[in-house]
Structure 1
Amino acid sequence: MRLGKGRTLWVAAALACVLAAPAQAQVSPGIDALIEQAEAIKTSQPAKFYDVLERLEKRVEEATPEQRLKLRLLRAHGFLMKGRAEPAIRELRQIQQETDDPEMLFWTGSLLVNTYALTRKFEQGLTTLNDILPLATKVEKKDVRHRGLLVAGLLYNQVGEYMLGEQYANQVLADAPEGRNQCAAGNLVAEAALGLKKAPSEEMIFRTIKVCEDQKEPILGGLTRTYLARKWVEDGKVDQAIELLERYLPTVTATGYPLVISEYHAMLASMYLKLGDIGTAHAHANEAVERGVGMTSLPLVVAYKTLYEIAESRGDSKAALSRYRQYADADKAYLNDVKTRQLAYQIVRQQILQKTQQISMLDQENQVLQLQRTVDQQAAQNTRLIVILLVLLVASIGYWAFKIKRVQLSLKKMAETDALTGICNRHHFTLRAERALAECARNGEQAALIMFDLDHFKNINDRFGHGTGDWALKEVAEASKGFCRRIDVLGRLGGEEFAILMYGCDLRAAARVAEDCRVRLAQIETRETGHVFAITGSFGVTSSMQSGYSLAKLLSHADKQLYRAKHLGRNRVCVHENEHENVRAAGSNVLELPQREGRTEHLGA
C-alpha cells in the first residue's frame, strides 16, 4: 500500500475499516447473513470477502432497499481494498445524492472524507467535511456520530490544524465511545498534543494502548506507543523508550505496514545514536530507509539524518556528503508535503468565507426586494412618479457615490502605497502587520517576519545615479512579490529596507523563503539600465515562536539579525532563535537548511 505519505494516513487506513461497519436494519435473514459475514471478514480475509460480495451481487434483485444500500457500501469498501479510490468515491457520492436522511448523509459523508484523506485529496475532503459536520447533532446513533467526528479529527491533524483535531477527538472521548472508536480517538488526541508541542498524558496513552490491544488494533496501538516513547525521550528516559520500542517491534513488523515499521526503526536509530551505540543506530537507520523507500515521510528524514551524523562522526566525508544530500532531499519533500496540506486547508477556509459572504449578500438583497415590494403595494396609485423619483435618486446617489469612491480610493492608495515601488509604505505595513499578528494570536497560528536590506545600495546611487537606484528598488519589490501569498504583507520600510510578514508560517519555512528571495535578488539582470552591477541583500528572520506577537519585538529581532548578516559579510540570511531552543537542540542544528550561494546563520537571543 503506497497511499500513506504521512503518519496520519495510516490512521486513516485503520479508520476506514471502523467506518465501513453499517448500522443495523430489519432485513431478510439470508442476505443479512451474507452481509454480516462480509462485514466480519472484509479486512482479515480479503479473498473470501470478495467471494461473499460476488454472491451478494448475484442476489441484488432479491434485496430490500436497506440491504441494497448496505451492499453498495460493501462494494465501495471492496473498491478501496483494491486501491480503486475513484469508483468508491463515485459510489458514495451517488448514495448521498439519492438520500435525504441526515444520519445516512453523515455516515456516507464520513466514509467519503476518509477516502479523500487516503487519496490525499485534502481540498475535497475538507469541503465535504464542512458539509456534513452540521448534521452531527441530528445523528441519533452514537457510534455513527463518533465515526464522523473521528474523521474530522483525523483530517484536521493531517492538515496541521491540531487544535481542531484534538477538539473533535476529545468530543468522542467525552461521550463514552466503544472500543475501536476509543482507540482511534485516544491516538488522535496524543498525536494532536505532539503537534501542539504539548506533553500528552501518560495515563491517557496507556489507556489508549490497552484499548487498542483489546480491540486487536496493532497499527493504532503501535503508533500510540511511539507517542509514549517520544515523551519519555523528552523526559530523559531514553533507555525506557528504547526498551518499549524494541519489545513491540516484532508486533509492528508483523502488521506489514511500511510506514509504521519505518517509524519504529527511525526512532530507535536516533535514540541509539544519542547513547553512542553507533552500530545499532546504523542498523536501525538502514532498516528504516529500506522500509520507507518511495514514501514522503518524517521517519525517512530522521533515518537519513542519523546516517549522515554517523558518517560524519566516523570521518567518512564522502559518505557523509551522500547521506546529507539524501537527508536534504527527504526533508524538502516532507516539508513540501506538509505545506500542500496546510495550503489545502487555507484554500477551503477562504472558499467557506466567500460562500458565507455571498449568502449574506443574497439575504440582504432579498430584504431589499421585499421592502421594495411592500413600498410598491402601498403606493400603487403613484407608482410611475415614485419609479421616476427613485431612478433619479439612485442615479444621482450612484453618480456621486462613484465620484466620492474614486477620490477615496485615490487618497487611500496614496496614503497606503509606496509611490516608487507600489507596495505598502511603512505606515500601512505596520497597520496590516499588526492586524495579521493579532489574528494569528487569536487563532493560535504562527507568524514570521523577514527583513532585508540591499547591500551597497549607496554605491549604486553614487556610481550610476538615482534613476538607476530607483529602478533597482522597483525590481527588488517586484521580485519579492513572487514569494508572498495574498495573506502575507510586503512593505518598504524606508530607503532600501524591506519587510515581509508571513501569516501562518513557522521559522523554518520563513528562513527558506528568505533564502529563495536572496537567491532571486542576486539573479536580477541589470543590463537594461545600461550598467552592469550586482543586487544582493542581507536578511534577518524571526517568528512569533521566538519573538512573540508584538510587531515591535519582531522588527527588533529581525533587524538585529539583518545587521548581523551585514557584519558577517552581507548577501546571507541570519535567523533568530531563543536560548531555550538552542539548549534543547544542543549538538544539532534544528533549522539547518541546504546551502546555496550566500549563507543562512542562526543565533540565540
Structure 2
Amino acid sequence: MYRLLSWLIFASLCLALGSGNAATSVAALLSEAEGVRSSDPERFQRLLDQLQAAKGKATAPQRDQIAYLHAYQQSYVGNYDVAIPALRRLANGASTLETRFRAGALMVNGYAVTRQFAEGLRQLEQTLELAERVKDPELRQHGFGVAAVMYNEIGEYRLGLQYAERILAGPVHGRARCFAGQYRVEALWRLKRLPDDDALVRGAIQNCVSENEAVIANLLRGTLARKWAEQGQGDKAIALLDDHLPEVESTRYARLIGEVHSLLAELFLAKGDLAEADLHARAAIGHGPSMPHSQPLVAAYKTLYEIANRRGNASDALGYYRRYAEADRAYLNDVKTRELAYQFVRQETAQKTQQIELLNRQNQVLQLQQRVAKQNAQNTRLVVLLLLLVVAVLGYWAYWIRRRQQSLRRFAETDALTEVSNRHHFTQCAEQVLAQCAKNREQAALVMFDLDRFKEINDTYGHATGDWVLREVAENCRGFCRAIDYIGRLGGEEFAFLLRGCDLAAATRLAEDCRLRLTRIDTRPSGHTFTVTASFGVSATASSGYGLDVLISHADRMLYRAKREGRNQVRAFTMDLPLFDTPRVDEAAAEEVPRSAAAVGSSAP
C-alpha cells in the first residue's frame, strides 16, 4: 500500500485548523506540529506531548486538531485499531467542516492499508460529499488525491484518472503535482491509454525530482521502463532502472526496491541473461514481506521458475513453481476482493437511493392525506368525495407495497445484471435439490464456468461492454436449462448449473455444447468485435457425493485446470486419478491461478 502511505506524507500540506481565540502558545505548537509531522517524527511526538499538556487552554477547534494529530501519529506507526475509531469520532462530530473532511480522508487511508476496502469506499463516499463545501483548495485536492489512490488500488482506474485530473486541472504546485501526476500516469497505463511518446511520463518524473520525491519519481520510472519493454526497447528499460538503482536502494523503501528488482529480473530474463535475472529476482523476494499479494512478488517467483526450467533443474523448477502458484493465487484473490468490495458498495448505494425514493413517495402520500383532511375540515360537502379519495390512495398504496415486496423478493433472489439466480439463491435451491436427489438416490451434476480474460474485455472496451457480455452469456445459458435445473451467477464472471438427473458424461456433453455456443456469440451489437470464451469444470454426485460444497470444490478445481491448460476447455472430475498432478504450463496458462486436481474431460478443438 505504498501509494496510500505516500499520500499520508502529502497530507502535511493541509492547513492548520487552529483559529483566533486560542492561546498563542497552543496555536504556535499546532502550527509547528503540522509542519514537522511527516519529516521529524521525534520532534512531532514531543510537540504532541506539549499540546496534550496545554489542551485545557485550547479552543474547541484546536482540541479537535490535537485529536486529529494524535490519530495521525497512531496511523503513521501502524496502530490503525486505535487511529480509525478516533478519526471516526472526529469525522462525525468535529466542530469544523475542515477537520471532519481531514479525518474522513485519513480514515479512508487507514481502511485501505488494513484492506477493509468496503468500509474505505463507504467512508470515501461520505468524505467526498463534503468536498464542495471545503473552501481551502489544497485541502480539497487532498481529498481528491485520496479518492484517486483508493480507486486505482481497487482497479477502478477510470475513476482514479478522473480524480487525478481534477487535482491537476486547478492551480497545483510542488509535491501535490508530483503525487497527482503519478496517479494519472498509473491510471493511463492500466487503461492502456498512455501516449506513445514519453513526454507525459518524463514531465511527471521531473516534477517529482524537483521536489526530492525519490520514491514517486522511481515509481514513474518503473512505469516508463515497462512501457519501453512493451515497445521492444528492453535494453533501454534496463539501463534506465540500472542507472537509478542506487537511488532506489537509498530510499530504504522496501516495497519500491522489491518492485524495481522484480521488473529488472523480468527484463533480464527476456534478454536471456539468466544470471542477472536470478540475482534481481532473489533480491525482489527478499523484500516479499513488504509487498504481499502483489504482482511483483508473483513475477519474481515466476522468473526463478523459468530460470530453473531453462537450466534443466527440475527439482528447483517445481519448488519455485509452487511458490509462484501460491503467490499468484493470493494476488488474484486480493484483486477479486477489491473488485467485489467496490461492487458491493455500489449496490449498497443504489439500495439507499431506492430507500430514499420510497421515503419520498411515502412523504408524498402523507402530504396528500393532510391536504385531504384540511379540505374535509373546510368543506363538509366534500366529505364523501374525500373519503373515497383516501380509500383509493390507501388501496393504491397497499397495491404498491405488495408489488414492492414482490420486487424486493425478486431482487434478493436474482442477479440484477443477468437476471439469473444470485449466489445465495442458487446455493439454497441447489442444496434442496441435492437433498432430494440423495433421498431418492437420483444422480445430479454441477457445471461451473468462468469467462476467459474478462478483465481484459472490461479494460479494453469498458464496463458497459463487459455487462453486455455477461447478459448475453446468461441468455445463451438459459437455453440449456430445463424446468428442474438451476443456473446461477456465483460472482463476477463465474456461473454454475445444477443438473438434476444427469450423470458426469451427460453434464460434460452439455458443458461442451455450452462452451461452443458461447464462442459463437455475435459481439457486434456491443459496438466491438471480439470472441467470448469460457473454461468449464464439471463434477457429479457419483464421484463427489451430494454435498454442494464438495461438488463446487471439485468443479472449481477442474475449471482452473481448464484455465491452466489453455482456457476455452471442459474438464470433468473423477476419482480414478491422483488428487494432485504436475500442471502443464504454457504462456497463456501462466496468467491464471493454477490449481491442482485430477480430471478427465473434453477440450476445445
Which residue of structure 2 lines up, in the alignment, with residue 110 of structure 1?
A: 105
- Do the aligned partners of 1:572 and 1:600 also contact (CA within 8 Å) in 2? no
Cα separation, 1, equivalents of 2:143 and 2:368? 42
Residue of structure 2 in register with 1:317 after alignment: 314
Q: Which runs of 5+ in 1 are unaligned?
A: 1-8, 414-422, 437-467, 563-568, 578-584
Q: Find the residue that maps to 1:216 and give its secondary structure.
A: coil
- SS of the residue aligned with 1:379? helix
| 1:494 is the counterpart of 2:480 | yes
RMSD after superposition = 4.6
Task: Give the match for residue 134 of structure 1.
Answer: 129
Q: 1:186 aligns with which of 174, 181, 185?
A: 181
User: Offset at 1:397?
Assistant: 6.5
Q: Which stretch of structure 1 is more off in the superposition, 53-62 or 169-178? A: 53-62
Q: How does 1:334-373 map to 2 (within 5 A)?
A: 334-373=331-370
Residue 479 of structure 2: SS of its match in structure 1?
Answer: strand
Q: Is the 8 A contact 1:22 1:70 kept in 2?
A: no
Q: Which of 340-349 and 291-300 deviates more?
A: 291-300
**Aligned AA (1:355):** K
In the alignment, which residue of structure 2 is the partner of 1:12?
4
CA drift at 1:109: 1.7
How far apart are the structure 2 equivalents of 1:50 and 1:404?
Answer: 60
In structure 2, how many angstroms separate the alpha carbons of the residues matched to 1:543 and 1:56?
Answer: 66
CA deviation after TM superposition for structure 1 residue 535, in Å: 5.5
Matched residue SS, 1:326? helix
- Mark the CA change 1:170 to 1:499 in structure 2 (over 3 Å): closer, same or farther: farther
> What CA distance in whole angstroms lies between the structure 2 residues aligned with 1:213 and 1:322?
41
Between 81-90 and 260-269, the greater mean CA deviation after superposition? 81-90
- Per the TM alignment, residue 282 of structure 1 is displaced from its structure 2 partner at its CA by 0.2
For residues 124 and 383 of structure 1, what CA distance do their matches in structure 2 show?
A: 54
Change beyond 3 A, Cα 1:252–1:561: same
Cα distance between partner residues in 1 of 2:517 and 2:224: 31
Contact 2:534–2:568 (8 Å) recurs in 1 = no
The match for 2:49 among 41, 47, 54 is 54
3-state SS in 2 of match to 1:305: helix
Q: 1:61: how far off?
A: 1.7
Distance 1:541-1:89 versus aligned 2 partners, 3 A rule: farther
CA–CA distance in structure 1, aligned partners of residues 601 and 2 of structure 2: 35
Q: Any conservation in 2 of the 1:103–1:138 contact (CA below 8 Å)? A: no
| Match for residue 150 of structure 1 among 137, 145, 151 | 145
Task: Output the CA distance in 1 between the equivalents of 2:258 and 2:399.
Answer: 68
Q: Percent same amino acid at aligned positions? A: 33
1:2-31 CA-partner distances (Å, limit 9, x unpaired): xxxxxxx20110111221444144454433
| Alpha-carbon separation, structure 1, partners of 2:383 and 2:293 | 70
Alignment map for 1:157-196 (pairs within 5 Å): 157-196=152-191
State the partner residue of 1:240: 236
User: Normalization by structure 2: what TM-score?
Assistant: 0.73
Whole-Å Cα distance in 2 between the matches of residues 177 and 75 of structure 1? 28
Aligned length: 514
Supply the AA of the counterpart residue of 1:86.
Answer: D
CA distance in 2, matches of 1:404, 1:342: 32
Maintained 8 Å contact 1:225/1:245: yes
Query: 2:64 maps to which residue?
Result: 69
Q: Following TM superposition, by how much is the alpha carbon of 1:65 offset from its aligned partner in structure 2, in angstroms?
A: 3.4
| Alpha carbons of structure 1 residues 561 and 198: separation in structure 2 relative to 1, 3 Å | farther
Q: Is the 8 A contact 2:536 2:562 kept in 1?
A: no
8 Å Cα contact 1:296/1:330 also seen in 2? yes
Distance of 2:335 and 2:103 partners within structure 1: 27
Opposite residue 494 of structure 1, the aligned amino acid is F
- Indicate how the Cα distance of structure 1 residues 378 and 495 shifts in structure 2: closer, same or farther if over 3 A, else same: closer
* Counterpart contact for 2:536–2:568, Cα < 8 Å: yes
1:597 partnered with 2:594: no
2:449–2:536 CA contact under 8 A, matched in 1:
no
Superposed CA deviations along residues 127-185 of structure 1, whole A, max 9, x for unmatched, are 11111213222222110010000101111111111100000000101112121111111
- Decide whether aligned partners of structure 1 residues 391 and 270 sit closer, same or farther in structure 2, where only a CA change above 3 A counts: same
Contact map agreement 1:376 1:383 (CA 8 A) in 2: no
Give the alignment of 1:177-576 within 5 angstroms. 177-200=172-195, 202-293=198-289, 295-380=292-377, 381=380, 385=384, 389=388, 393=392, 433=418, 472=443, 475-476=445-446, 489=474, 491-494=477-480, 505=492, 513=494, 536=508, 538=511, 540=515, 548=523, 550=525, 557-558=532-533, 575=567
Contact 1:270 1:281 in 2 (8 A): yes
Q: Given that residues 271 and 281 in structure 1 are in contact (C-alpha distance below 8 angstroms), is that contact kept between their aligned partners in structure 2? A: yes
Deviation at 1:311, TM superposition (A): 0.6
Q: Does the 8 Å CA contact 1:20/1:111 hold for their aligned counterparts?
A: no
Which residue number corresponds to residue 576 of structure 2?
none
Give the C-alpha shift of residue 260 in structure 1: 1.1
- For the 8 Å contact 2:55–2:63, the answer to whether it is kept is yes
1:68-113 deviations in whole A, cap 9, x for unaligned? 3332222111111221112222222222233364433323221221
| 1:79-118 to 2 correspondences below 5 Å | 79-99=74-94, 101-118=96-113
Aligned with 2:15: secondary structure? coil
CA distance in 1, matches of 2:169, 2:337: 32
Distance 1:404 1:63, change over 3 A: closer
Partner amino acid for 1:378?
Answer: Q
TM-score, reference length from structure 1:
0.73
Task: For residue 213 of structure 1, report the CA deviation from its aligned partner.
Answer: 1.9
Distance 1:572 1:264, change over 3 A: closer
User: Secondary structure of 1:494's partner?
Assistant: coil
Mapped to 2, the partners of 1:404 and 1:532 lie a distance apart of 41
Q: Is the 8 A contact 1:169 1:189 kept in 2?
A: yes
Q: Distance in 1 between matches of 2:516 and 2:74?
A: 48
Aligned to 1:459: none
Give the CA deviation at 1:67: 3.1
- Output the CA distance in 1 between the equivalents of 2:110 and 2:359: 34
Partner of 2:578: none
Q: What secondary structure, in the 3-state scheme, does the structure 2 residue paired with 1:364 have?
A: helix
Distance 1:33 1:552 in 2: 61
2:580 counterpart residue number: none
CA distance in 2, matches of 1:42, 1:572: 53
User: Given the superposition, is the C-alpha separation of residues 191 and 504 from structure 1 closer, same or farther in structure 2, using an over 3 Å criterion?
Assistant: farther
Distance 1:220 1:432, change over 3 A: closer
Change (3 A) 1:66 1:40: same
Q: Is the 8 A contact 1:156 1:162 kept in 2?
A: yes
Q: Which moved more, 1:331-340 or 1:374-383?
A: 374-383
Match of 2:574 in 1: none
Letter in 1 for 2:254: P
Cα shift at 1:239 = 1.1
Judged with a 3 Å threshold, the aligned counterparts in structure 2 of structure 1 residues 386 and 44 are, in CA distance, closer, same or farther, namely same
Structure 2 CA distance for aligned equivalents of residues 209 and 542 of structure 1: 49
> Do the aligned partners of 2:68 and 2:87 also contact (CA within 8 Å) in 1?
yes
The 3 A distance-change label for structure 1 pair 12 and 393 is closer
Quick check: 250-259 or 319-328, which moved more?
A: 250-259
Gaps of at least 5 residues in structure 2 are: 421-438, 451-466, 538-557, 570-584
Deviations 1:416-460 (A, max 9, x none): xxxxxxx99xxxx9x975x99xxxxxxxxxxxxxxxxxxxxxxxx
> Which amino acid counterpart does residue 316 of structure 1 have in structure 2?
N
- Would the aligned equivalents of 1:266 and 1:285 in 2 still touch at CA under 8 Å? yes
Structure 1 residues 547 and 151: alpha-carbon distance in aligned structure 2, compared to 1, 3 A threshold: farther
